Amino acid sequence: MKCYEYCQNNIKDCKKEKCRYWIKDKSNNNCTIIASSSNKNMTLEDVGKIFNVTRMRICQIEKRAIEKLKNILMIK
């Protein structure tokens, strides 16, 4: 069983701060995988609060990621 499955199934917060998926967000058991798999829609503001940045910065990162994906897929 993966650690995020354990945390999700047992409703426990992840304690592994060195894990690449760890975030400081108790509502998602400190795990980005649990946060991304939840059924709730998150706004840019919500994501910004998790990573302690502004919603505008999240928007910039999102736009850059979309551009990179377009370039990889050669969609213009």
Q: Do 13 and 32 fall within a single domain?
A: yes
pTM over 0.75: no
Do 2 and 33 reside in the same domain of the chain? yes
Tell me which amino acid residue 48 is.
G
Q: 12 in helix, strand or coil?
A: coil
Number of domains in the chain: 2
DSSP-assigned letter for residue 11: T
Range of the domain at 36: 1-40
45-63 tens-digit pLDDT: 988 888 889 999 999 999 9
Q: Show the DSSP H helices in the chain as ranges.
A: 3-10, 32-37, 44-51, 55-73
Residue type, 28: N
Rg (CA), the chain: 15
| Cα distance between residue 54 and residue 33, in whole Å | 21
Q: What is the pLDDT of residue 35?
A: 72
**47 and 36 both lie in a single domain:** no
